[in-house]
Amino acid sequence: MRLIALAGLPEIGPGDDLGALLAERLHGVEPSLARFDVLVIAQKVVSKAENRFLDLASVTPSARARDLAAATGKDPRLLEAILAESAEVLRAKRGVIVVRHRLGYVMAQAGVDRSNVGGVERVLLLPESPDESAARLRATLARLTGVAPGVVISDSFGRPWRLGTTNVALGAAGVPALWNRRGERDRNSRPLESTEVAWADAVAAAAGLVMGEADEGLPCVLVRGLRWSAPDVPALDLVRPIGEDLFR
Amino acid sequence: MRLIALAGLPEIGPGDDLGALLAERLHGVEPSLARFDVLVIAQKVVSKAENRFLDLASVTPSARARDLAAATGKDPRLLEAILAESAEVLRAKRGVIVVRHRLGYVMAQAGVDRSNVGGVERVLLLPESPDESAARLRATLARLTGVAPGVVISDSFGRPWRLGTTNVALGAAGVPALWNRRGERDRNSRPLESTEVAWADAVAAAAGLVMGEADEGLPCVLVRGLRWSAPDVPALDLVRPIGEDLFR
């Protein structure tokens, strides 16, 4: 397995055709794009291309947002933007707010990032539907290169119980984001113990090592040498249904 | 970044010199082992080499183990072995027991795996100290190859909120298992948002894609092309202190 960070992507802005820009960068790759290649793209550049910016000056915080702002020590307008993206607030304390995003992801800040470019106080929201964003990018790449690669849109998540962030898959297309291996056996013919593998999360974590943290510098990583025999599964299937969760 | 699964490792048993066996396999690798190479090794083979087997016939379940066996539908002797490895039981329901391992890891079954090889009902426990196991393997590899690679001992963990397992780092030596990037800035001179990166967990997750699930077949993966500028940090530092955990 090889991971290659794609260099030379310009700063992405609203309306940019991210798929076309990626296809251009992929022209220089040898050997050329092939089946089982997977492209991992940082959520931020997808959100920017999809103009998921929100001007904080346009936001009027509700009473609830002001309460949570006091509890967390954050900007009330930022809290209002977070609440608008959330189905439920799970934890809030000084410096931290963990929510269930409207799409189900349990994550800090509902994925809302401050982005004070050029003196304007803006935030950047997650894509409307990361799985659909991944599918659109895949379709564009298929049209422009003749090959439909796997596409994973990644974001950096904290975890309970363990320190530090790792990248996970927010969106996916053309890959088994969750790989159900129930019924498979190991080489000693014993049933596999881990029957569901968070495959796209592992791909996102691997790519994160190459993106580094300055993900606006190298937000796209080509992963080669993977093989899979499972059907395509979107990344939203990685979200554990509420009723099956022992830790909320 | 390249990941190469090391083929040809024999079935490992108690007393085998795992470091020497790995050094032999690394002799065939071109270019030869170098600084910044990282070797990821599945916990199971380390535990086997360290004879962390426990014969279930020798285990007498306590009343608590019998209660938990009834709640989970598992063997009372297995539950006794799990309790002996645990500091605290966090959740137990049919088919699932999540504990805080004596070393702090929050995980299913305290890492205790059934291993019914040759008709004997045994379980395999985690290494006594995975960080020390990693350091010993690193020292052996340094002695036999002249190069001290990074070493990560990985295991497959479930997560709250998200389905599927990913590999994480149980033990580490010669790498920054947790990479504190506080104070660093991105290319736009803004402070990095994710200031602590679970670096060794990402390396373990990446290697898991190459090990596949049949980890007794390819339990060791060489990762090349990584660079780091952070001090060595053991994998136990990835465990979030109890007082800082919002989800228990």
Alpha-carbon separation of residue B234 from A146, A223, B108 (angstroms): 46, 28, 22
B66 and B138, same domain (yes or no): no
Full residue range of the structural domain in which residue B206 is found:
2-51+127-243
Sheet of strand A122-124: strand arrangement: A53-55, A122-124, A113-114
Look up tokens 């602590």; give the residue: B196
Instruction: Using CB atoms within 10 Å of the CB of residue A63, give its burial: 0 to 12 exposed, 13 to 18 middle, 19+ buried.
Output: exposed
**How far is it, in rounded angstroms, from Cα A159 to Cα B240?**
9
In a domain, A19, yes or no: yes
Whole-angstrom distance, CA of residue A3 vs CA of residue B38: 15
Final residue in a domain of this structure, among A106, A124, A142: A124
pLDDT at residue A215, rounded to an integer: 44
Average pLDDT of span A227-235 = 95
Residue B104 vs residues A142, B110, B242: alpha-carbon distances, Å: 47, 10, 9
Is the same domain home to A102 and A65? yes
> Is residue A25 a contact partner of residue A219, using CB atoms and an 8 Å limit?
no
Q: Which residue has the tokens 């490792």?
A: B9
Phi, psi dihedrals of residue B156, rounded to the nearest 5° = -90, 120
pLDDT at A180 over 60: yes
Strands (E), A147-194: 150-157, 166-173, 179-180
CA–CA min distance B224, chain A (Å): 10
pLDDT band at A190, cuts 50/70/90? Answer: low
Q: Which residues contact A17 (CB under 8 A, 6 or more apart)?
A: A49, A140
State how far the alpha carbon of B92 is from the alpha carbons of B98, B107, B205, in Å: 6, 12, 26
* A118 has a pLDDT exceeding 70: no
Q: Are residues A73 and A177 in the same domain?
A: no
Q: Give every CB contact of residue A243 below 8 A, 6+ residues apart in sequence.
A: none
Residues A157, A118, single domain; the answer is no
For residue B58, what is the domain's CATH number? 3.90.1660.10
Report the pLDDT value the prediction gives residue A114, as an integer from 0 to 100: 84
* Residue that finishes a domain, picked among B124, B154, B172: B124
CB contact under 8 A, B213 and A186: yes
B142 shares contact with chain A (CB less than 8 Å): no
Token pair listed for B138: 């690193």
CA distance B214 to A191: 10
Q: Is A91 on the interface with B (CB under 8 A)?
A: yes
A192: chain B residues, CB-CB within 8 Å: 213-214
d(CA B137, CA B248): 34
A85 and A171 co-located in one domain: no
B10 CB within 8 Å of a chain A CB? no
- Alpha carbon of B17: minimum distance to chain A alpha carbons (Å): 22
Asked if B171 and B133 touch (Cβ cutoff 8 Å), the reply is yes
pLDDT exceeds 80 at position A192: no
Q: Which CATH number is B205's domain given?
A: 3.30.1330.100
State which residue of chain A sits closest to B96, comparing Cα positions.
A246
Chain A residue numbers touching B245 (CB-CB < 8 A): 160-161
B205 near A CB under 8 A: yes
Quote the pLDDT of residue A25.
Answer: 94
Using pLDDT thresholds of 50, 70 and 90, give the confidence band for residue A227: very high
Same domain, A39 and A59: no
What total of structural domains would you count in chain A?
Answer: 2
ipTM of model: 0.94
Is B155 touching A (CB cutoff 8 A)?
A: no
Residue A235 lies in a domain: yes
Return the sign of the alpha-carbon dihedral for residues B30, B32, B35, B41: positive
Task: Give, as one character, the DSSP assignment of residue A97.
Answer: E
Any domain includes A65: yes
- Say if residue A180 is in the same domain as residue A114: no
Residues 6+ apart with CB under 8 A from A207: A3, A40, A152, A154, A167, A221, A223
Low-confidence ranges of chain B (pLDDT < 50): 214-216
Tokens representing residue B56 in the block: 């279930």
Q: How high does pLDDT run on average in chain A?
A: 92
Three-class DSSP category at B106:
strand
On whether both B150 and B227 belong to a single domain, the answer is yes
* Same domain membership, residue A96 and residue A39: no
Query: How far apart are the C-alpha atoms of A72 and A40, rounded to whole Å?
Result: 32
Is residue A76 in a domain?
A: yes
pLDDT above 90 (res A120): no
In chain B, which residues have their Cβ closer than 8 Å to the Cβ of A154?
A: none
In a domain, A164, yes or no: yes
Q: In angstroms, rounded to a whole number, what is the distance separating the alpha carbons of residues A121 and A111?
A: 17
CB contact B213 to A (< 8 Å): yes
Nearest to B65 by CA among B76, B49, B54: B76
Instruction: Give every CB contact of residue B130 below 8 A, 6+ residues apart in sequence.
Output: B43, B46, B103, B153, B170, B171, B235, B236
Whether residue B140 is found in the same domain as residue B208: yes
Token pair, residue B206, equals 């990446």
Partner-chain contact A214 B192, CB within 8 Å? yes
The H or E element containing residue A123 is strand A122-124
The percent of residues above 90 in pLDDT, for chain A, comes to 81
Q: Is the Cβ pair A187, B216 closer than 8 Å? A: yes
Of A124, A143, A164, the one marking the end of a domain is A124
Q: Both tokens of residue B153?
A: 């001992």
**CB-based contact (8 Å) between B243 and chain A?**
no
The answer to whether B237 and B131 have CB atoms below 8 angstroms apart is no
Query: Under a CB-based contact definition with an 8 Å cutoff, are residues B153 and B134 in contact?
Result: yes
Name the DSSP class of B76: H
| Distance of residue B137 Cα from the nearest chain A Cα, in angstroms | 24
Q: Chain A, 42-81: which have a CB under 8 Å from a chain B CB? A: none
Size of interface A-B (CB pairs under 8 A): 188
Confidence band (pLDDT; 50, 70, 90) for A191? low
What distance in Å separates the CA atoms of residue A167 and residue A200, rounded to the nearest whole number? 10
State whether A45 and A135 are in the same domain.
yes
Which pLDDT does position B215 carry in this prediction?
A: 43
Task: Judge whether B182 is closer than 8 Å to chain A, CB to CB.
Answer: no
State mean pLDDT over A126-141. Answer: 98
The count of residues in chain A is 248
Contact assignment for B246 to A203 by CB distance below 8 Å: no
* A109: nearest CA partner in chain B: B193
Considering the domain boundaries, does residue A247 fall inside one?
no
Binary contact (A194, B156; C-beta < 8 A)? yes
CB contact under 8 A, B238 and A163: yes
Minimum mean pLDDT among A21-25, A27-31, A235-239, B96-100: which range? A27-31
CA distance B11 to chain A (A): 11
Minimum Cα–Cα distance from A198: chain B residue: B164
Residue B62 covered by a domain: yes
Whether omega before A130 lies within 30 degrees of 0, making that bond cis, reads no
Q: How far apart are CA B202 and CA A167, in angstroms?
A: 8
Model pLDDT for residues A151-166, shown as the tens digit of each residue: 999 999 999 999 999 9
Is residue B248 in a domain? no
Could you check whether the bond before residue B31 is cis, i.e. omega within 30 degrees of 0? yes
- B46 and B164 share one domain: yes
